[in-house]
Amino acid sequence: MKLKQRLFTPGPTPLPEEVRLAQARQIIHHRGEEFARVFQEVRQGLKYVFQTGEEVLLLTASGTGAMEAVVANLFSSGDRVLVVRGGKFGERWGEIAAVFGLEVISLDIEWESAVNPDLIRKKLAKDSKIRAVFTQLVETSTGVVYDIEAVAKIVKETEAVLIVDAISGLGAQPLPTDRWGVDVVVGGSQKALMLPPGLAFVSLSPKAWRLGENSALPRYYWDFKKAKKAQEKNQTPYTPAVSLICALRESLKLLKEEGWENVLARHAKLAQATRKAVLALGLKVFSKVPSNVATAIEVPSGIDPKKLRKIMRDEYGVDVAGGQAQLAGKIIRIAHLGWMDASDMIVVLSSLEMSLSKLGYPVKLGKGLAAAEEILGE
Amino acid sequence: MKLKQRLFTPGPTPLPEEVRLAQARQIIHHRGEEFARVFQEVRQGLKYVFQTGEEVLLLTASGTGAMEAVVANLFSSGDRVLVVRGGKFGERWGEIAAVFGLEVISLDIEWESAVNPDLIRKKLAKDSKIRAVFTQLVETSTGVVYDIEAVAKIVKETEAVLIVDAISGLGAQPLPTDRWGVDVVVGGSQKALMLPPGLAFVSLSPKAWRLGENSALPRYYWDFKKAKKAQEKNQTPYTPAVSLICALRESLKLLKEEGWENVLARHAKLAQATRKAVLALGLKVFSKVPSNVATAIEVPSGIDPKKLRKIMRDEYGVDVAGGQAQLAGKIIRIAHLGWMDASDMIVVLSSLEMSLSKLGYPVKLGKGLAAAEEILGE
């Protein structure tokens, strides 16, 4: 039998049948009444998952496109910004800001660690010219989750805005946008929202909209004002990815049926079970503050992570992620993100046990699974 | 019975079953071997339809995003460019160029007319500082096709590059990129390529790549160099719209099976039949040089085009486009674009006849159809 394929990467994530079939529908026109009805539902659903009363802008682009759009809409060349860099995606914020001529102050942290909110407080207190703090909710490359609630409390007291890349974190970690007072949240389709990649989302607080009033950077396709104006008429300024938007309606329906609190709790439980299993196998979790997006595991010395992933993939059809940038060859990342349940985690953990054993690592078969079941069976 | 819906708009266009079902596949990872194989096939297919030996860059975005990307990659603030403005999309080139600080010289033409290549020759001869000519292959808003072969001959003799928005025209009108020497061609997925919207394509000549060497405009997501480097390894720099790319492989397969010359001939024939039918009904084709993308029809005085389109849609399930900008309320546009055949045109023309008749316009039922059949039956 051809091996069944199972994806445990932190995006793209597996698609529920409802989402897959919605894409297979015949196309509808983006200026017609049916699309307007779909889009109205989608707009409401996005507000629900972003936990905001503000309009959530939808862009036909990858998450990185939305990150660029945020920079292009809110700033001017020469603006000073603080960028938390604790992994590949923190670095990306810095790269985009630099490309657009912003003056970037980097707050570099060890890649296994979360940012200490006090460091942000000190930077902002010392320098009133900092217009924004850029950070992640979850730094996907390290599996670390940041304390955005604490960071938001600090930034709220200043003139600066807080900009959070929640591309991987949205749905896996709590992020009540309005309640915490997060000014800008960026999301992507191919994560907990259980969609293919191709759509990105941005919510903006009134404070963020005000900052944008003075922005002098060039933008056209990315123009947030045009997007907001069009969305209020259940349209988009340019032809959007219609089939993905129809699929988004289905995934938002599924998430509403489950209930957002339950979605978050499910991610937390699957992540906890994964960590317990990893520890039970004598392995080490790389992240000091591990997220519910993906568990980053330090590969024990003597084991080649590339070989480990290859065995998991070739023998068991299980696809996990490796390390990126400086973490290449050091970690593997098991995602528990999106359309995932207890049995999915049993599968990936089992393939991890069997593959480690094949590579000669002294693993007691079933020990990780037993630890996971303690949590999953609750 | 619920009315069958049929789309005759110049994008999005109907999807063949192969394309629809490809989107319904379970998602695959964009860094895996299977995706690399798919993407390699797609890269070859794009070269085939663009008729170029150069790499065709694939962007996860609408066509407008690719237009912005071209400006951001090739120019610097203050660069002087010539923009042909014969409709809404010519105006769009001008707007994007202006947003990015380019000095725009507009070549405004009547919206029913094609650009006279001699006017471009004169402008370029008079001003050696013009770095580029921006134009359309087909100006979708007016249905007019431009003589890009003649324009390319002129621009080739200068230092300027020729940039053609072929978003609607690609596949409907001949555009042998390398043979004619068109420096930049922009395409979109939701037209003759028979895909949903969400992907855009850009081919660049060596002359265009050289121009880009001196560009100082900010770009990150749009960066062509990064895209080219990644594509040569069958990857993309950022997570692309995987499900649309899998669907693109299927549509490119269909187009290859049909043969590109046959695709072009089919569009020409369907367009010719539509024009003949329109004339036989005593109506007027708006465009002086009508394209094979869509037939723009002047709505006779006394007939409200909104009402006409509403009857066609509500009574016969047939969706045609109205006029945009200054043409709103003046024309309707019947697209013969993408996955369309003779019987499709019979359907739309029949609904036009019946709807005109209902509105009291003196139409001899069947007369347009008879004229169309003369061509379609050949």
Query: Quick one: pLDDT at residue B124?
Result: 98
Query: B206 vs chain A: nearest CA distance in angstroms?
Result: 25
Q: Are residues B254 and B264 in the same domain?
A: no
Q: Are residues B136 and B277 in the same domain?
A: no
The reply to whether A272 falls in a domain is yes
The reply to whether A273 falls in a domain is yes
Q: Are residues B168 and B190 in the same domain?
A: yes
Q: Are residues A108 and A254 in the same domain?
A: yes
B240 neighbourhood in chain A, CB within 8 Å = 62, 197-198
Q: Are residues A151 and A265 in the same domain?
A: no
B190 neighbourhood in chain A, CB within 8 Å = 27, 239, 242
Residue B87 is given by DSSP the state S
Query: A14 vs chain B: nearest CA distance in angstroms?
Result: 6
Structural domains counted in chain B = 2
Contact assessment for residue B185 and residue B51, using Cβ atoms and an 8 Å cutoff: no
Each residue's pLDDT tens digit, B55-82:
999 999 999 999 999 999 999 999 999 9
B61 neighbourhood in chain A, CB within 8 Å = 60-61, 65, 221
A67 neighbourhood in chain B, CB within 8 Å = 221
Q: Are residues A163 and A251 in the same domain?
A: yes
Contact assessment for residue A75 and residue A81, using Cβ atoms and an 8 Å cutoff: yes
Each residue's pLDDT tens digit, B202-212:
999 999 999 99
Chain A CA closest to residue B189: A241
Q: Are residues B232 and B345 in the same domain?
A: no
Q: Do B63 and A239 touch (CB under 8 A)?
A: yes
Which residues of chain A, if any, have pLDDT below 50? none
The reply to whether B330 falls in a domain is yes
The reply to whether B193 falls in a domain is yes
Q: Which H or E run contains B203?
A: strand B199-204
User: Number of A:B CB contacts under 8 A?
Assistant: 176
The reply to whether A80 falls in a domain is yes
Instruction: Identify which of A64, A188, A221 has the shortest CB distance to residue B65.
Output: A221
In A11-35, which positions are buried (b, 16+ CB within 10 angstroms) versus exposed (e)? bbbbbbeebbbbbbbebbbbeeeeb
A215 neighbourhood in chain B, CB within 8 Å = none
Torsion of CA A84, A90, A96, A100, to 10 degrees: 0
Q: Are residues A144 and A196 in the same domain?
A: yes
DSSP letters along B91-103, please?
HHHHHHHHHTT-E
The reply to whether B1 falls in a domain is no
Q: Do B100 and A218 touch (CB under 8 A)?
A: yes
Q: Are residues B209 and B129 in the same domain?
A: yes
As a whole number of angstroms, the distance between CA B105 and CA B133 comes to 10
Best mutation target, B27, B95, B319, to test chain A (most A CBs within 10 A): B27
CATH number of the domain enclosing B321: 3.90.1150.10
Q: Do A24 and B29 touch (CB under 8 A)?
A: no
Query: Quick one: pLDDT at residue A337?
Result: 98
Best mutation target, A60, A309, A318, to test chain B (most B CBs within 10 A): A60
Instruction: Identify which of B99, B188, B243 has the shortest CB distance to residue A218.
Output: B99
* Burial of residue B264, with CB atoms counted within 10 A of its CB: 0-12 exposed, 13-18 middle, 19 or more buried: middle
Each residue's pLDDT tens digit, B131-152:
999 999 999 999 999 999 999 9
Helix, strand, or coil here: B282? coil
List the structure tokens of B360. 């009291």
Q: Do B24 and A24 touch (CB under 8 A)?
A: yes
CATH number of the domain enclosing B114: 3.40.640.10
* Mean local confidence (pLDDT), B161-190: 98
Q: Do B21 and A24 touch (CB under 8 A)?
A: yes
Q: Do B29 and A9 touch (CB under 8 A)?
A: yes
Q: Do A198 and B7 touch (CB under 8 A)?
A: no
Query: B340 vs chain A: nearest CA distance in angstroms?
Result: 14
Q: Are residues A148 and A211 in the same domain?
A: yes
| Residue B110 Cα to chain centre, angstroms | 20
Query: A167 vs chain B: nearest CA distance in angstroms?
Result: 12
Query: Quick one: pLDDT at residue A156?
Result: 98
B24 neighbourhood in chain A, CB within 8 Å = 20-21, 23-24
The reply to whether A64 falls in a domain is yes
Q: Which domain holds residue B209?
A: 17-258
Q: Are residues A124 and A226 in the same domain?
A: yes
Query: Quick one: pLDDT at residue B35?
Result: 98
Instruction: Identify which of B27, B63, B96 has the shortest CB distance to residue A12.
Output: B27
Residue that finishes a domain, picked among B205, B235, B258: B258
DSSP-derived pairing of the beta strands A331-335 and A294-298: antiparallel
B239 neighbourhood in chain A, CB within 8 Å = 11-12, 62-64, 188, 190, 197
Query: Quick one: pLDDT at residue B269?
Result: 98
User: Mean pLDDT score of chain B, rounded to an integer?
Assistant: 98
Residue that finishes a domain, picked among B190, B225, B258: B258
Best mutation target, B4, B6, B20, B62, to test chain A (most A CBs within 10 A): B62
| Distances from the Cα of A176 to the Cα of A51, A155, A184, A289, B146, angstroms | 5, 16, 12, 20, 52
Q: Which H or E run contains B231?
A: helix B224-231
Q: Do A30 and B7 touch (CB under 8 A)?
A: no
Q: Do B218 and A220 touch (CB under 8 A)?
A: no
Residue that finishes a domain, picked among A206, A225, A258: A258
Instruction: Identify which of A26, A101, A242 has the shortest CB distance to residue B197.
Output: A242
Q: Kindly report the backbone phi and psi dihedral angles of residue A198, in degrees, each rounded to the nearest multiple of 5, phi listed first.
A: 135, -15
The reply to whether A1 falls in a domain is no
Q: Do B24 and A28 touch (CB under 8 A)?
A: no
Q: Are residues A212 and A277 in the same domain?
A: no
Query: Quick one: pLDDT at residue A205?
Result: 98
Instruction: Identify which of A32, A62, A239 has the shortest CB distance to residue B197.
Output: A239
